[in-house]
Amino acid sequence: MEKIKMQTPLVEMDGDEMTRILWAKIKEILILPYVDLKTEYYDLGLVNRDRTDDGVTVESALAAKKYGVAVKCATITPNVQRMSEYRLKQMWKSPNGTIRRILDGTVFRAPILCKGIRSYVPGWTKPIALARHAYGDVYSAVECLADKGEKVYLVTEKDGKEVSRTLVHDFKDGAGVVQGMHNLDDSIRSFAHSCFRYALDSRMPMMFATKDTISKVYDGRFKQIFAEVFAEYERAFDEKGIDYQYTLIDDAVARVMRSQGGMLWACKNYDGDVMSDMVATAYGSLGMMTSVLVSPDGKYEFEAAHGTVTRHYYKYLKGEETSTNSVATIFAWTGALKKRGELDGIAELVTFAERLEHAAIRTIEEGEMTGDLLSLFEREGVMPRKLNSEEFLRAIAKRL
């Protein structure tokens, strides 16, 4: 076949360890034979981040801002142990954090479902996508102890003058604890825009929940801003036949449990922290969870939700066989190619990406999979078989 042509480059962010190995193999086996791939390449591997004083991370994020679509490989977030392993100049910050700050985006996670791999919640037959607001609340709160006899106030000031003073608590009967937290209208608004865009893109109904019956001002502000922003999207939602529902967080949990899935669940920071682990676990393997960062002005960065799979990489370095699941990384590529195709009006690119996704899913459904899925797989008439990392990619290529 003649290779599919691209117009605008994809921003390609390479990464670390086992996922870096898979990255090159995915391109070689599943993409380059069919697509005249145009990318602007940034090496976010830890060695190069250290060499460039992390400048490469910032440059790649600015490129994502410029071109609108990026695909990212998993990267190491340095800790003390990595400092000595890679002899780093500095404990560089998480690249994902840096990119998210520059794009001001929200991260959406969604599972990839296959026949034969059942959710721990049997009713969830469709994916639940989850968005977590990643700014403020308890994550940037200040706290203190209060002694018996102390009074604690919430005080606001402007130009050195006190504007308001609200008693938090009079600790006259005994000591206790206090916490002060905040959020920003702009951050909440950006979050709302990203969520409504994602719901439209993926044609999923959306739910957002807080506890505004108790927290009338704080959570009430979230509710109000979401309602204001939704007014801009209401028509588009109607046209796509999806709805947006605001509810209370406890009601949301009950609804999600009873549902078949097939929705976007937008969560405040803490709710998202807790619920994303629950939802991800319910759907099985980390190797089947995708992640996309969406900015409020419609820029996209696609990646797998898992890390660099270090344990498998050390096996690989020793020359041992690995069976690492590449599905989420493949879907990062297809997500990015599809988005690029949509934005540039290249239908063949969109179709190609969809076919690659189907081929990957069919491979598993027909019983050829990596080790992480083996014990989860149960399908009548299909005997599951464990393939190594490269065999799995070749099994997908055969179907593609």
| Choice from 152, 242, 248, 286 touching ligand NAP (CB under 6 A) | 286
CA distances from 164 to 21, 26, 156, 157, 167 (A): 58, 59, 5, 7, 10
For Mg ion, how many residues bind (rule: CB under 5 A)? Answer: 2
| Site map (CB under 5 A) of Mg ion, residues 65-94, x = contact | ------------------------------
47: CB partners within 8 A, 6+ apart: 86
Q: Which is nearer to Mg ion, 36 or 277 (CB)?
A: 277
Write phi, then psi, for 152 (nearest 5 degrees).
-120, 130
Distance from C-alpha of 42 to C-alpha of 375, rounded to nearest angstrom: 37
* Residues in region 61-100 near ligand NAP by CB under 6 A: 74-77, 96
CB contact at 8 A, 344 and 8:
yes
Q: Which is nearer to Mg ion, 284 or 371 (CB)?
A: 284
- Is 354 an interacting residue with respect to Mg ion (CB under 5 A)? no
| Choice from 287, 335, 341, 384 touching ligand NAP (CB under 6 A) | 287
Q: Which is nearer to ligand NAP, 309 or 400 (CB)?
A: 309
Q: Which is nearer to ligand NAP, 153 or 314 (CB)?
A: 314
Residue by residue, DSSP assigns 215-284 as: STTHHHHHHHHHHHHHHHHHHHHHHHT--EEEEEHHHHHHHHHHS---EEEEE-HHHHHHHHHHHHHHT-
Q: Which is nearer to ligand NAP, 96 or 98 (CB)?
A: 96
Chain centroid, CA 89 distance in Å? 29
With CB atoms as reference, the residue minimizing the distance to Mg ion is 273
**Residue 46: closest CA among 2, 99, 89, 1:** 89
Distance from C-alpha of 283 to C-alpha of 125, rounded to nearest angstrom: 10
| Choice from 119, 210, 290, 308 touching ligand NAP (CB under 6 A) | 308
- The tokens for 200 are 């439209």
- Is 325 an interacting residue with respect to ligand NAP (CB under 6 A)? yes
| Choice from 143, 277, 320, 378 touching Mg ion (CB under 5 A) | 277
| Choice from 136, 205, 262, 307 touching ligand NAP (CB under 6 A) | 307
How would you class 241 by CB atoms within 10 Å of its CB: exposed for 0-12, middle for 13-18, buried for 19 or more? exposed
Q: Which residues of 57-74 are buried (b: 16+ CB within 10 A; e: fewer)?
A: bbebbebbbebbbbbbbb
Stretch of 85-93, 110-118, 156-164, 302-310 contacting ligand NAP, by CB under 6 A: 302-310
- The tokens for 263 are 């929705």
Write phi, then psi, for 6 (nearest 5 degrees).
-115, 160
Partners of residue 161 on adjacent β-strands? 158
348 binds, among ligand NAP, Mg ion, none (CB under 5 to 8 A by kind): none
Q: Which is nearer to ligand NAP, 76 or 128 (CB)?
A: 76
* Residues in region 345-384 near ligand NAP by CB under 6 A: 370, 372
- The tokens for 397 are 């290529």
Q: Which is nearer to ligand NAP, 238 or 321 (CB)?
A: 321
Q: Which is nearer to ligand NAP, 25 or 211 (CB)?
A: 25
- Is 186 an interacting residue with respect to Mg ion (CB under 5 A)? no
With CB atoms as reference, the residue minimizing the distance to ligand NAP is 307
Stretch of 172-180, 247-255, 275-283, 372-380 contacting Mg ion, by CB under 5 A: 275-283
Q: Which is nearer to ligand NAP, 287 or 296 (CB)?
A: 287
At position 138, the amino acid (one-letter code) is V
* Residues in region 254-273 near Mg ion by CB under 5 A: 273
Give least dist CB 281 to Mg ion, A.
Answer: 10
- The tokens for 41 are 């390449």
List % helix, strand, coil for the chain (3-state, nearest 5).
45, 25, 30
Point out which residues bind Mg ion (CB under 5 A).
273, 277
By the criterion CB under 6 A, which residues form the site for ligand NAP? 74-77, 96, 286-287, 303, 306-311, 324-325, 370, 372
